Structure 1
Amino acid sequence: MARPAERCQADWRELEEEFQQLQETHKIYKQKLEELNNLQSACSSSIQKQKRGLQDLQYSFQRCKRNCSRDESELIQQINSQIKERHNVFFDMEAYLPKKNGLYLNLVLGNVNVTLLSKQAKFAYKDEYEKFKLYLTIILLLGAVACRFVLHYRVTDEVFNFLLVWYYCTLTIRESILISNGSRIKGWWVSHHYVSTFLSGVMLTWPDGLMYQMFRNQFLAFSIFQSCVQFLQYYYQSGCLYRLRTLGERNHLDLTVEGFQSWMWRGLTFLLPFLFFGHFWQLYNAITLFELSRHKECKEWQVFVLALTFLVLFLGNFLTTLKVVHTKLQKNKMKKL
């Protein structure tokens, strides 16, 4: 039977061997990490060089088109089509390469690399983002209902408005990280949450008074409706994305957004009336606030600023949705022809 001292020595020798293996493994890890950084730099440089070459080539094609034959013109069109496909390939490549943060992420996070280098990490972050939106939508719905029907206190309104500010601020940061990692959300739907953050911040600073009380119930009712629509959108859009990804038609990092996009066309009759009703409710909010700003008792600057902000949200949401619907209808007509 081994004595305690011998057992301790055996345990130490075992730990010593594991430590030596750990050092070797860590040394290899550092070498591979350096190789990875070199490969990333080489890929980034090559992509930029390819992009410049393709840009120069397209410029040369534009000059050649004037004096080229019909066969040469067809060849140029084929090459231009391949160039467009090449840019899509570059986009997918860059999603797995470190890149500089945009202005917003630099202001919020500093010069921190937010690129996720594996598909598993990207999908996990995206799924966590979607769950975050779902959970906060439910919380905001319950909060709006409580403030509207149960808790008629200014302090609870402040808590609700602060939660809105935090929610939209967090969404803008998370979306910026996802866009840096290859999500294709763009246009107005990117700006939408920035405007909503500003609106919620102004609501938070609006002091209690006659004007606030005259608009309070309308705003809370709108918040309840908006949360319900976002709740429906989450399940509807998630279903659309799942079907399209199964068919290989969509990027796996596409997001569910507060609006209508071309890939949501199936089942449109279900979702679109709710979206348009919400858009016009934003217009109604803007009109109400403009009227309140002209009230003789109105002294708060927040009333007019909120009216302008709701108007901007209405115009952005309504015109963007209308544009997407029009584009999709035109595409359907072309397919039938």
Structure 2
Amino acid sequence: MNKDLVNLRNTKTNLLLFFLSSLQNPSFVFVCFGIDAMEVEEEVRRIVEQVKELHDSATSFVSSASHEELSLRQRSILVDASITRLHSSLLSDKHHDPKLLNKLEEDLQRARCMLADGDTSSFLPSKPQGLFVRMFLGPVNVRASRKDIQLKVKEEYNSYRDRTALLFLVFPAILLTLRSYVWEGCLPAFPVQLYQAWLLFLYAGLAMRENILRANGSDIRSWWLYHHYCAMAMALVSLTWEIKGQPNCVQKQKGVRLFLQWAMMQGVAMLLQNRYQRQRLYTRIALGKAKRMDVVWGETAGVDGQLLLFCPILFTLQGFEAYVGLQLLRTALTGVVGEWQVLICGILLVVMAIGNFINTVETLMVKSRFKAKMKRSKSRAELD
């Protein structure tokens, strides 16, 4: 009995060794599983040939597309240069009919908007990417080749502004309410620093998005990017600022309280801009007077009614911003709060207020010159 068991065990061992050694022969495996080795080999060869054909076709397509792209790029640059040249000649020409000149200028403006708003815009030279984008993303081209992707970037920017405008109003309102009813008139350091951290995130996000929008053809002015950089620096400095408490908490935190009040006013202004000015911008885009990648920001009011509404708000905000900065400077220089962070924040607030004021005045002057030109053209046409 034991001898039979030993023989059976040896037989199983031999069969297992035979099977394992046979696995090294693919033909044996294919035969065991009913697969023809020749068919598999032919299938593999066919797949390899298809991959080679696809590779050659893709290479040929990329090469031909590159040549066609180069041709379209050259033609687009020539057309854009022609539009600029004709526009300059129309501005310097005083001998033709003013009504005809206005019509030709409007046609050129529509042609420029069509060139910038269509798929042709991807072939036009783009604005150089700022140091801020290169610092975070490296030498990566952030310009989208398709217009729908560019417009998606703009929609995301508008959504980001809508969300942050509400928080810009609610966050400081909560802090001031808690200060009055819970914290007995004295703000703790942590909530204020949390708010400053959120401001750092907010302005970093705005700066990144606006740099990308500029690279994709938006008309965002350079000053607003510099403004965001200053705001980021102020928020970063404020994070290291030790908020003083008792004693004499009211006087020590006067600058912080005024800044929170200014932030609430800024939130209201941002909400108004997002709602009313964006509607006007859509109208200008439909009329061919603005590009689809243009966005609403700062002082860009559209019509007289909006100018009457927004200009007082903007100038009030800028004046109050400068006042807060001067109060911080006075607090630092008189020794009430001697930290260097107070001095730096005061300087940055004053600089941003002055820059905003200058930018707003320049925009209003451009609008007034344009309206005066339209009135002169209309009066000349009536006289003729």
The TM-score with structure 2 as length reference comes to: 0.66
Deviation at 1:192?
Answer: 1.9
CA deviation string 1:285-316 (max 9, x = no partner): 12211211222343211112112111111111
Deviations 1:211-249 (A, max 9, x none): 752322111111111111111111112111111112121
Is structure 2 residue 226 aligned with structure 1 residue 191? yes
Partner Cα separation in structure 2 for residue 132 and residue 54 of structure 1: 35
* 1: CA distance, partners of 2:317 / 2:216: 31
Which of 203, 209, 212 is residue 168 of structure 1 equivalent to?
203
Q: 2:223 is matched by which residue type in structure 1?
A: W
- Asked whether the equivalents of residues 206 and 212 of structure 1 are also in contact (C-alpha less than 8 Å), the reply is no
In structure 1, list runs of 5 or more residues that go unmatched. 1-15, 62-70, 72-80
Indicate the larger mover: 124-133 or 178-187.
178-187
Do 1:262 and 1:324's aligned partners in 2 also have CA atoms closer than 8 Å?
Answer: no
Cα distance in 2 for residues equivalent to 1:303 and 1:44: 51
Give me the whole-angstrom Cα distance separating, in 2, the residues matched to 1:332 and 1:217: 41
Where does residue 130 of structure 2 map in the other structure? 102
Greater shift after overlay, 313-322 or 294-303?
Answer: 294-303
Aligned to 2:148: 120
1:263–1:117 CA distance, 2 compared to 1 (3 A): farther
Q: Which structure 2 residue ranges, 5 or more long, are not aligned?
A: 1-43, 90-94, 96-104, 180-186, 246-250, 377-384
How far the C-alpha of 1:29 sits from its partner, in A, is 5.7
CA distance in 2: counterparts of 1:306 and 1:252, whole angstroms: 36
Pairs within 5 Å for 1:260-275:
260-261=299-300, 263=302, 265-275=304-314
Say whether residues 1:243 and 2:283 are aligned partners.
Answer: yes
**Where does residue 136 of structure 1 map in the other structure?**
164
RMSD between aligned residues: 3.8
How much does 1:330 deviate? Answer: 2.8
Do 1:293 and 1:303's aligned partners in 2 also have CA atoms closer than 8 Å?
Answer: yes
Return the alpha-carbon distance in structure 2 between the equivalents of residues 48 and 186 of structure 1: 23
By how many angstroms is 1:90 displaced? 8.0
Deviation (angstroms), 1:48:
7.1
Deviations 1:38-97 (A, max 9, x none): 444555567779999999x9xxx9xxxxxxxxx9xxxxxxxxx9xx98998886788414
- 1:76-122, Cα deviation, whole Å (9 max, x unpaired): xxxxx9xx989988867884148663332211210112111111111
Match of residue 294 from structure 2: 254
Superposed CA deviations along residues 17-55 of structure 1, whole A, max 9, x for unmatched, are xx99x9688875665445444444555567779999999
Sort the Cα spacing of 1:51 and 1:238 in 2 relative to 1 into closer, same or farther, 3 A: closer
Q: Distance in 1 between matches of 2:288 and 2:116?
A: 17
Larger Rg: 2
CA-CA distance at 1:326 after TM superposition? 2.4
* Cα offset, 1:333, TM superposition: 2.5
Residue 182 of structure 2 aligns with which residue? none
Q: AA paired with 2:330?
A: E
Counting only pairs closer than 5 Å after superposition, residues 1-337 of structure 1 correspond to structure 2 as 31-41=60-70, 43-44=72-73, 95-97=121-123, 101-150=129-178, 152-209=187-244, 213-257=253-297, 259-261=298-300, 263=302, 265-337=304-376
CA distance in 2, matches of 1:284, 1:183: 32
How far apart, CA to CA, are the structure 1 residues paired with 2:173 and 2:255? 16
Distance 1:106 1:323 in 2: 30
Count of residues paired in the alignment: 300
Shift in Å, 1:266: 5.0
Work out the CA distance in 2 between the residues paired with 1:312 and 1:268: 24
Tell me the CA shift for residue 317 of structure 1: 0.9
Which residue identity lines up with residue 192 of structure 1 in the other structure?
H
- Alignment partners' CA distance in 2, 1:206 and 1:334: 51
In 1, distance between residues paired with 2:230 and 2:71?
Answer: 39
Q: What secondary structure does 1:121 align onto?
A: helix
Residues 83 and 112 in structure 2, CA contact (< 8 A), matched pair in contact too = no
Note closer, same or farther for the CA distance 1:28–1:212 as it changes in structure 2 (3 Å cut).
farther
Distance in structure 1 (CA, Å) of the matches to 2:369 and 2:75: 38
Rounded to whole Å, the distance in 2 between the matches of 1:42 and 1:34 is 13
Amino acid of the structure 1 residue aligned with 2:148: Q
Aligned partners of 1:237 and 1:264 also within 8 Å: no
